[in-house]
Amino acid sequence: MPDRQQVRSKLELQGDRVTIAVQEAVSIVDGIFRRIGCSTDIAQTVAAHLANSNLCGMESHGLMRTLQYAEQFETGQMRPDVKPRLRTTPRGVTEVDGCHGIGIPAMKMAVEHGCEVARKQSMSALAIRNVGHTGRLGEFTEMAAQSGCLCIVIGGGGRQRWRQVAPYGGRCAMLPTNPYSIGIPGGDRGPVVLDFATSKIAGGWIYAARSAGALLPDNALMDADGNVTRDPEDYFRGGAIMPAGGAKGYALALVAEMIAEAMLGPVTTEGNWLMITLDASRFREPSAMQTAAEELLQELRHCPPAPGFDKVEVPGEREREHRQRTEESGISLPEKTWQQIVSLSDRRPGVGSQSS
């Protein structure tokens, strides 16, 4: 059993964990998606993305999402037999159309196109629509930052289907978790990457807790009567996730919903996304920017830690450090969750509904 101190998780498990070799996990999950009807390249892309999320310590967006995606493919919420495509709308806006498929390859296409356009024209703005779940956003904005771009991704919409988060001052779930991600070239250790839900926890943690038989962190979830709870089942009995930072998280979620649905148009699958990409080298020579960034980041790293903390961390670095520590030892998963994934590899998938 892995050292629990080496596993970054918000779950309080009742059972044990198991460690799976990365290639074994990718192979099993890849096989599940290919049998459902995904093309070889999409199945491989999604499986590798989920495994990488676990390696980065993002269990909420890791291999446990296999259960969600399999169910959504089988029920028709997402289509397995499609690939994303670029198009120009009648109003002249570039859009990645996910064609109602999974959003991970669509987001990858958007980053690649956005960076290419930014290098030619200084910046790019595009929409990503008709997509299912897009996985861990930080992987995509980090890709852009590694190529020298500042990348901002804002997503939301679909609140009629994904009512998950209570507005500030309310007790009923009204909005999706509406995440933001920003990646910018950093110092000597790589890009600075922000990736956060506008709720106190990502919806994936609730499903991870449910599949693993675990409890959630305190002060993140309320039951149908507005009382704080740690039981994930209370969410499915009419509860709601609380907004991050009170009124600030609610305001960010509301703006994301306005962008995604009022500006970009009706949500057809799970959510709509706006991606803005800028070529950072147009503002400053890359080596000078890296030097200045490293000076700033070093100051922060050397700040004396507050009680209860070991050190001050830089967003993006902790995920890369976690991946370096775990990619050889393997992926740690709750045993119950891994058993459910393995069972999908032996039969046609069919599991309980999950969301963002």
**Tokens 């709750």, located at residue:** 334
Contact 280, 289 (CB under 8 A): yes
- Is the pLDDT at 351 greater than 70, yes or no? no
Residue 63 has what pLDDT? 96
Please choose, from the candidates 53, 2, 6, 14, the residue with its C-alpha nearest in 3D space to the C-alpha of residue 216.
14
Place of tokens 């499915």: 236
From residue 2, give the alpha-carbon distance in Å to each of 17, 21, 314: 7, 13, 26
Is 1's pLDDT higher than 50? no
Structural domains for the chain: 1-80+331-356 (1.10.1530.10), 82-199+243-329 (3.30.1370.60)
pTM of the model: 0.90
> Any alpha helices (H) in the chain, and if so which ranges?
22-36, 40-55, 65-75, 103-121, 137-146, 203-212, 233-236, 247-257, 286-301, 317-326, 335-345
The model's pLDDT over 134-175, given as tens digits with 9 standing for 90+, comes to 999 999 999 999 999 999 999 998 888 889 999 999 999 999
Over residues 35-70, the pLDDT tens digits come to 999 999 999 999 999 999 999 999 989 999 999 999
Partners of residue 330 on adjacent β-strands: none
Q: How many whole angstroms separate alpha carbon 287 and alpha carbon 274?
A: 29
Kindly report, residue by residue over 86-125, the tens digit of the pLDDT: 999 999 999 999 999 999 999 999 999 999 999 999 999 9
Quote the pLDDT of residue 2.
Answer: 46
Tokens, residue 228: 């704080």
- pLDDT of 262 above 90: yes
Residue 249 has pLDDT above 60, yes or no: yes
Q: Residue 8: its pLDDT value, please? A: 65
* Mean pLDDT confidence for 79-87: 97
Decide: 222 and 229 in contact? Cβ < 8 Å: yes
The string of DSSP letters for 140-182 reads HHHHHHHTTEEEEEEEE--TTT---BPPTT--S--B----EEE
Residues contacting residue 59 through CB under 8 Å, at least 6 positions apart: 7, 8, 9, 10, 11, 53, 205, 208, 333
Does the pLDDT at position 184 exceed 80? yes
Per residue in 164-179, pLDDT (tens digit) is 999 999 999 999 999 9
pLDDT at 205: 87
Q: What percent of the chain has pLDDT over 90?
A: 85
d(CA 114, CA 298): 30
Output the pLDDT for position 347: 66
Percent of the chain with pLDDT over 70: 95
pLDDT, greater one: 205 or 182? 182
pLDDT at 349 over 50: no
Q: Express each pLDDT in 274-290 by its tens digit.
A: 999 999 999 999 999 99
- For the segment 255-274, the average pLDDT, to the nearest whole number, is 95
Please give the mean pLDDT across all residues of the chain: 92
- Closest residue by Cα to residue 130 from 84, 92, 178: 84
**What pLDDT is attached to residue 143?**
98
Structure confidence at residue 350 (pLDDT): 41
Sequence-ordered list of residues with C-beta below 8 angstroms from that of 218, at least 6 positions apart, any chain: 228, 230
Where residue 132 falls (left for φ over 0; alpha for ψ -120 to 50; beta otherwise) is beta
User: How far is residue 162's CA from residue 167's CA, in Å, rounded to a whole number?
Assistant: 14
Quick check: 222 pLDDT over 80?
yes
